[in-house]
Amino acid sequence: MPATPTNPLHPRIAALPKAELHLHLEGSIRPATVVELAARYGDSLTLDQAGARYCYSDFRGFLEAFKWVTSYLRQPEDFELIVDRHADELISQNVVYAEFTVSIGVMLYYKSDPLKNFAAMLRASERALRKGLRLQWIFDAAWQFGPAAAVEVVRLAIEARGAGAVAFGMGGDELMFPYASFREAYELAASAGLRLTAHAGEVGDARKIRDAIELLGAERIGHGLAVMHDLALQDLLAERGIALEICPTSNICTGALASQLGRPSARIEEHPARSFLQRGVPVVLSTDDPAMFHTDLSAEYALAPRLGLTDEQVLAIIAAGFSRSFLATSEKESWLQQLRDRTRDAGDFRSPAA
């Protein structure tokens, strides 16, 4: 179950423009939308049945649920629908910029046409932009599909780069292959000007994070929980300005935090986000798969008191969402200036109940 916030999000924090950088498009599909998608293909599914598939206690269970949800994404119109739905959710939370991670590797697995699907997503993206939400795209290959499949995803990202694909990343089962196996894919992506991300140290150890940085050239790390065990690696992240994309509710729901702590369960108060910030590691706050973890970005920020974050740290995380994004420098600076202007005289952001 998600780590439900005990304090509401302070209105001043809620009103600030925000960016979300670790957001899987397919993980944003709410159960009601799965019911709608299933009906398109003659599968009678109740809301309760769909909701039951969103309950799991470990990372393997989450991967199985993710596989089931994505099985209903079969036509470009399906992808257009889910972008529309989640864009509206983000806009309602004052999210002005998001980087959607799209599971291109899964599309290839299902023998779907990624570029046709992407064209449909772009139609929804244009509608979102008119409402105030700027979207860019990370083409994702799953570790478990292997190095050759990753290269194929990179080639598609290169083809789509002019249309808004800005980065290449990898998620999924980080324990399947050594990261060195994926150097060709990452080198090809870098040579084409794509930005680089990698999920690492979610359930794997700190060596996965180091390999993602030193072997693959990752500029941001998805999750990175295992860095809690390696202070030297924390210092490396701080020195190079490599941000950790922290997803607290996800880390509870998948059992990733409990696994890193070596225990059967964990509490949100034990999350190491605060210690990372104290060490100088850049941190951005994200939802990962918001529908599948029963959360949204406002709920993640509302967890700040339980994470032990100060007002200043929360504001630093909001700013990092822009400064560590894959936006052009001029766009980053524009949003950061807006944040500076809006927070200069804002006073104390703590909730009256805190």
Q: What is the pLDDT of residues 23-54, one digit of tens each?
A: 999 999 999 999 999 999 999 999 999 999 99
State the pLDDT at residue 7: 64
State the pLDDT at residue 345: 59
* pTM, entire model: 0.93
pLDDT at position 4 over 60: no
pLDDT at position 350 over 80: no
Mean pLDDT of 202-220: 98
- Of these residues, 26, 80, 202, 300, which one is catalytic? 202
**Which CATH number, 2.60.120.340, 3.40.50.300, 3.50.50.60, 3.20.20.140, labels domain 11-341?**
3.20.20.140
pLDDT at position 315 over 70: yes
State the pLDDT at residue 5: 52
| Chain segment 273-286, per-residue pLDDT in tens | 999 999 999 999 99
State the pLDDT at residue 11: 85
Q: 126 catalytic, yes or no?
A: no
**Residue 62 exposure: Cα atoms within 13 Å on the Cβ side:** 25
**Confidence tier at 184 by pLDDT (50, 70, 90):** very high
Domain ranges of the chain: 11-341
CB atoms within 10 A of CB 278: 12
Specify whether the CB–CB gap between 2 and 295 falls below 8 A.
Answer: yes
How far apart are the C-alpha atoms of 273 and 46, rounded to whole Å?
Answer: 38
Specify whether the CB–CB gap between 135 and 86 falls below 8 A.
Answer: no
Mean pLDDT of 162-190: 96
Specify whether the CB–CB gap between 139 and 165 falls below 8 A.
Answer: yes
